[in-house]
Amino acid sequence: MENNYLKDEFGCLVFNDATAKRYLDEDSFRALKEVKEKRIALDGPLAEKLAVALKTWALDNGATHYTHWFQPLNGLTAEKHDSFLSGVEDDGSPILSFSGKELIKSEPDASSFPSGGLRATFEARGYTAYDCTSPAFLYKDENGCVLFLPTAFCSYTNEALDEKTPLLRSMDYLSEQAVRSLRLLGDEQTDRVIAYAGAEQEYFLIDGQRFAKRKDLAYTGRTLVGASAPKGQELEDHYFGPIRTQVASFMNDVNRTLWRLGVPARTEHNEVAPSQHELAPIYAPCNIAADQNQLIMLVLKRTAKRHGLVCLLDEKPFAQINGSGKHNNWSIGTDKGVNLLKPGKEPENNLIFQVFLTAVVASADEFAPLLRECSASYANDFRLGGDEAPPAIVSIFLGQDLELLVERLSEGKDPTHNDRSIIDTGAKTLPILYKDNTDRNRTSPFAFTGNKFEFRMVGSNQNISESSTVINTAVGYELSKFADFVEKRTDKEAAIKEWIQKTLRAHRRIIFSGDGYSEQWREEAKNRGLTELKTAVEAIEALGSESVKELYRASHVLSESELTSRQEIKFANYGSAALIDAKTLSHMAHKSLLPAANRYLTLLVKETEQYTGSTYANKTLEEVSKLIDEAFEAVIALDVDIAKAKGLKGHELAFFSRDSLLMDMKKVRSPLDKLECLVDKSYWPIPSYGDLLFHTN
């Protein structure tokens, strides 16, 4: 019997077009479709009808509350639940209501969300505005059912206090400039260009009981101490390996929950590190993709708890093994279904593809520091630049064929055609495989993968809204320069080719196909004039550059005050995260690890006194004693710097954390990790890396 679960259940908790048709009259449904397609404001009369439809649908499915769901500048999502109950009749029956005004706007208290100086703490008013282009949905579990309304979040004084508002602005800006460019390229049909994204989500799963014994994981999301397990990822046996039973059960529940929420989760597999996994959905328009990724992270965490597991989304939960990223697969297409980054069979004759490819290349070079910044965070610094993730130097990988195309175009030569070659496996029974137009380069931060670009620098815990906003805005800005150039010329075709040649010649330095992990690339990048921003602190400073200010000024995606606020918030977040790490490590050392090591030392002293001691006992006694003293001295130095850090804020705290607290924590960790390898396991108070990483069935 055919399993129709996907057909019957997919999107059943989403107010999609099929659901809207059932709950709206025909005229209202058409009007709502027009609002979405033309990206115009939702008016009052339509909002009233939509509110009634949403309320009826939600109540039919057992909902009791609704919430405006938004993305404040703390990297998380926020929600305030309001009941549909608005009063009680004389006979005691409930009055249930939900108005168009309540749908369009809500007023959560904005005083405690980060604003970077846009709002004073005593100024509490903030507004959420309904984003009808991202479908409403019901979150339904054993705790009840709530109607979620995706929204933007702004201040009383009009500034964006969230990630979604700039993203929506950037999508509109890119569409305007792309349509303007397409008109110059002979396309009279396209009315709108849509930016798409698809986020590959990496994560770790660990046992919930063992997690509870690690204060560092509970407070910070990552381990601050821990010696490497005897086995890590050296054998590469976990990657794409058989999925263990407990994890498979977890993944099945995650998939079913996401499918009901209309999230097209498609790919799941084991990742490189032990206990590391990945989930990837099908792409969607950027604002919907961002909402869906936030949902994915929420579902992963909640589902893990039901299975006795904990889902870790931190970029580097464990030292010495791979951390977790979130590749943002970005592309653009027309409202007629044409992918503008698809080379076609003859990219050498595809002028539209050449223009849009050129705009992406130019944007990556001109705004490389901004691309680095949009993936910058305290936690992601432990991952970027290592031999597991892209380097901190931004470059683009195009593949051999497109590199040759760019080379000839930049030199003003006619491009040549390359036939697709086949892969000869040498086995007669295997089918013929045709090669794609590019290989893959896992060390590239920004890689072309056939009809899209994969931005690989984003961290697993980050919101993809910011990276999507940056790419949309930067590409839109380059397309505006293309349109400005061509519109002034009489011979449009000659002007187009001239712009492509000049632009590629100026920016082809960003294209690199080699090993991004190598030291040779760092030297070569320096010679090319490419910038390496090694830490998040340096990257965040890029937000204050004149070129970035001009980009956002021209595009109207962020005002200067909004831009400045984001820089201040990022500095504050970096410093706060480092300080929490430092205080947690100090707490663990003083309250748990050093006392445990000292108890074991006491045992060794007794043994050596009573039995004169074996060579093992004497040597271990000497080494443990030395390491305890080393760790204690390092913790005292860390405590001194923690006290200094508490008096700092923002920019100063971020730099102090990078230059002092991080160094202090390394000095504390080193002797503690060595002690873990010497102290009897029954004395060591926290689960080891082996306990945490090799646990599932």
Residue predicted with more confidence, 7 or 678: 678
Query: Cβ(414)–Cβ(402) under 8 Å?
Result: no
pLDDT of 121 over the 70 cut? no
Q: What's the pLDDT at 114? A: 75
Q: What's the pLDDT at 671? A: 98
Q: What's the pLDDT at 372? A: 96
pLDDT digits (tens, 9 = 90+) for 660-682: 999 999 999 999 999 999 999 99
Most confident of 72-86, 419-433, 631-645: 631-645
Bridge partners, residue 374, by sequence: none
Q: What's the pLDDT at 1? A: 37
Q: What's the pLDDT at 42? A: 87
Going by C-beta distance under 8 Å and a sequence separation of 6 or more, which residues neighbour residue 372?
A: 392, 394, 457, 531, 533, 539, 542
Going by C-beta distance under 8 Å and a sequence separation of 6 or more, which residues neighbour residue 133?
A: 36, 39, 285, 287, 288
Strands 422-423, 433-434: parallel, antiparallel or unpaired by DSSP? antiparallel
Report residue 47: phi and psi, to 5°. -60, -40
Q: What is the mean pLDDT of residues 127-150?
A: 93
pLDDT of 261 over the 70 cut? yes
Strands 81-83, 265-270: parallel, antiparallel or unpaired by DSSP? unpaired
Q: What's the pLDDT at 165? A: 95
Q: What is the mean pLDDT of residues 515-535?
A: 92
Most confident of 81-90, 429-438, 472-481: 472-481
Spatial CA neighbour of 199 closest among 448, 26, 508, 457: 457
Residue predicted with more confidence, 574 or 141: 574
For the ranges 1-5, 61-65, 79-83, 287-291, the lowest mean pLDDT is seen at: 1-5
Q: Which residues of 121-157 are buried (b: 16+ CB within 10 A; e: fewer)?
A: eeeeebbbbbbbbbbbbbbbeeeebbbbbbbbbbbee
Strands 85-88, 81-83: parallel, antiparallel or unpaired by DSSP? unpaired
pLDDT digits (tens, 9 = 90+) for 321-357: 999 999 999 999 999 999 999 998 888 899 999 999 9
Q: Report helix, strand and coil shares of the chain as percent, to nearest 5.
A: 50, 15, 35
Q: What is the mean pLDDT of residues 275-294?
A: 95
Q: What's the pLDDT at 55? A: 96
pLDDT digits (tens, 9 = 90+) for 180-208: 999 999 999 999 999 999 999 999 999 99
Q: What's the pLDDT at 413? A: 80
pLDDT digits (tens, 9 = 90+) for 211-226: 999 999 999 999 999 9
Residue predicted with more confidence, 88 or 381: 381
CA–CA separation, 577 and 191 (whole Å): 45
pLDDT digits (tens, 9 = 90+) for 580-597: 999 999 999 999 999 999
Q: What's the pLDDT at 43? A: 87
Residue type, 379: A
pTM: 0.94
Q: How confident is the model at residue 318 (pLDDT cuts 50, 70, 90)?
A: very high
Bridge partners, residue 146, by sequence: 65, 139
Spatial CA neighbour of 474 closest among 528, 542, 533: 542
Which burial class, exposed, middle or buried, applies to 448 when counting CB atoms under 10 A from its CB (0-12, 13-18, 19+)? buried
**Tokens describing residue 157:** 């004084």
Average pLDDT, the chain: 91
Q: What's the pLDDT at 419? A: 61
pLDDT of 2 over the 70 cut? no
Q: In the chain, what percentage of residues exceed pLDDT 70?
A: 94
Query: Cβ(208)–Cβ(310) under 8 Å?
Result: yes
Q: What's the pLDDT at 110? A: 65
Spatial CA neighbour of 460 closest among 389, 362, 551: 389
Query: Cβ(293)–Cβ(201) under 8 Å?
Result: yes
Q: What's the pLDDT at 3? A: 61
CA–CA separation, 370 and 385 (whole Å): 17
Q: What's the pLDDT at 217? A: 97
pLDDT of 411 over the 90 cut? no
Q: What's the pLDDT at 472? A: 98
pLDDT digits (tens, 9 = 90+) for 468-498: 999 999 999 999 999 999 999 999 999 999 9
Query: Cβ(661)–Cβ(641) under 8 Å?
Result: yes
Query: Cβ(272)–Cβ(227) under 8 Å?
Result: no
Which burial class, exposed, middle or buried, applies to 427 when counting CB atoms under 10 A from its CB (0-12, 13-18, 19+)? exposed
pLDDT of 611 over the 90 cut? no
Helices (H), 39-123: 44-60, 100-104
Spatial CA neighbour of 367 closest among 180, 546, 568: 546
CA–CA separation, 397 and 407 (whole Å): 14
Q: What is the mean pLDDT of residues 285-302?
A: 97
Going by C-beta distance under 8 Å and a sequence separation of 6 or more, which residues neighbour residue 519?
A: none
Q: What is the mean pLDDT of residues 464-468?
A: 97
pLDDT of 229 over the 90 cut? no
